[in-house]
Every structure is written in structure tokens, then in C-alpha cells.
Amino acid sequence: MARIAVVGVGHLGESVLTGLLRSGIDQDDIRGIELIPERARDIARKHGIDCTHAGLADARQADIILIAVRPKDVRPVVEEIAAGPVNAVVCTLAAGIEIKAVEEGLGGGPVVRAMTNTASAHRQAVTALTRGGQVRDTQFTAVKTLFEHLGSVVEIPEEQQNMATALAGSGPAFLYYLADAMAQAATEYGIERKDADTMVEQMLRGAGVLLQESGEEPSELIGHIATPGGTTKAGLSVLDDRETSNVIRKAVLRTAQRSKELSAG
């Protein structure tokens, strides 16, 4: 198995690390680099891996370096990696960071851009990958295989990565927003919050399975439930009156635009 270094073990970095370990990858093949000493110690203790806060020298020994820091921190991390000999393929997980910016920081070398999400901890993520021009076939296969341990993988051109950020990266937050609103409505009806959460969570899980496995479009699945004059139709009419579909579309497009803005610095 390829040696993996995860640089930045925050929410996303730890989710990726957790999913890789749950997939069966050996603890000795994964190393964490986290600049906050207390966090590094916590990650090492929790996951049984080496996790250092003493710079990026260890990352240079890896075959794949996953950079999971905030967008503003990517450039200094890349420049520190480039301060020594590097044979790894570098994979950035930060929103809005273009391949050419990472290549420039490294002074050249293989770079893959990836957008995933925190469901990677449960191996239920979707990851969008874009391959840089200096990435060999064997290197890209290794990166793709790594993310396949975490869920589904799609390969897209870089100009589509901002939208992938909106869907794969930020999309779960929009569903959590919906889930919270539905559960709050249930509590107003007298249902205990824990029971409301159970119903909403399982409803979302079941709906996701149907969406994935039925072979039908979302509009068709809606049609199976929303019978004329029925309860679902009454609720949908409220959403339609407020042009909720357009609001969601605008939210997704604004998210993609923000990713583009991050690319521009």
C-alpha cells in the first residue's frame, strides 16, 4: 500500500484519516501532520498512528500527500514541503485552490485536486478528482484507489471543481439545514427532539438509497409520493409558492462562486 501523509488533521483531515483506517489500511502506512501540538497528540492517541507537529519533513517520505488545511494555509504548506526532496504526488483538498497554484509552490511536480466531504469517515463520501498535467498514470491510479476506499469517485475537468465544491463539499450542510428545520417543525407538533431526529435521519437515509438504487429521477420519485389532493402535495405547494427550488439553486451557485473567488485569492 502507498504511504500516506495527511497534512492538517481538522474535521476533514480526520474524517479522511478515519475512513482510510476503517477501510483496512494499516496504521503504519498513514502519518498525520498537525501543527497544534495538543491536537497532534489527541489524533495519535485516538487513532494509533504517528502524528507529528514538528514540521513537514515526515510528509516528504510519503507516496501521497493529502493537504487538508484551510485554503489560506495551502501555499505556505506547499512551500515548506518543497523545501526538501519530494517524490510524492500532492493532493489538495482545499476549496478553490487550483492545480497551477500548487505546482508553482512546489516548483513543479505531480498534483491532484480533490473535493470530498466528512462522510469519508464512514466511507460514504463522494470525491471529485482532477489530474494535473505532471501526474503519471500509476500515481493517479493510486490516488483514485485511495479515495475509492472512502466512497464514490468521479473524475472531472478543473473548471468544474467549483461546482463540485458546492455539491460534494458543501452539499451535506444544505441537507443538515433541511434536516434541522424538519426536526424543529416536529417538536412544534409535540414530538420529542430525539424522536424527531430519528425519523428525519432514517428518512434521509432511506431516500438516499432510493435515489441511488431506483434508477429513477428525483422528479419521478416525488411523483410516486405526491398524489393529487394528498398531504405531500400540500407541503410541496408551500415550497413551490416560495420558489424554494430557485432558492436552493441560488445557494448552490453562490457556493460555487465563492470557491471561484478563493481561486482568485
Class of domain 171-263: mainly alpha
- Which contiguous run of DSSP H or E holds residue 64? strand 64-67
3-state DSSP assignment of residue 212: helix
As a whole number of angstroms, the distance between CA 130 and CA 248 comes to 26
* Three cell numbers written together for 160: 468544474
Which residue shows C-alpha cell 483496512? 24
As a whole number of angstroms, the distance between CA 46 and CA 48 comes to 6
pLDDT band at residue 139, thresholds of 50, 70 and 90? very high
As a whole-number percent, the residues of the chain with pLDDT over 90 amount to: 92
- 250 vs 84, higher pLDDT: 250
Stretch 130-139: mean pLDDT:
96
Stretch 231-247: mean pLDDT:
97
Measured between alpha carbons, how far is residue 261 from residues 74, 230, 255 in Å?
15, 44, 10
Task: State yes or no: pLDDT of 117 exceeds 90.
Answer: yes
Domain range list for the chain: 4-156, 171-263
As a whole-number percent, the residues of the chain with pLDDT over 70 amount to: 100
pLDDT of residue 242: 95
Task: State yes or no: pLDDT of 149 exceeds 70.
Answer: yes
pLDDT of residue 60: 87
pLDDT of residue 263: 81
Task: State yes or no: pLDDT of 1 exceeds 80.
Answer: no
Task: Please give the biggest Cα pair distance in the chain.
Answer: 68
- Protein fold of 4-156: Rossmann fold (3.40.50)
pLDDT of residue 265: 66
Q: Are 139 and 115 in contact (CB under 8 A)?
A: no
Task: State yes or no: pLDDT of 87 exceeds 90.
Answer: no
Question: Across the chain, what does the average pLDDT equal?
Answer: 95
Which residue shows C-alpha cell 430557485? 246
Phi-psi region of 64 (alpha: psi -120 to 50; beta: other; left: phi over 0): beta
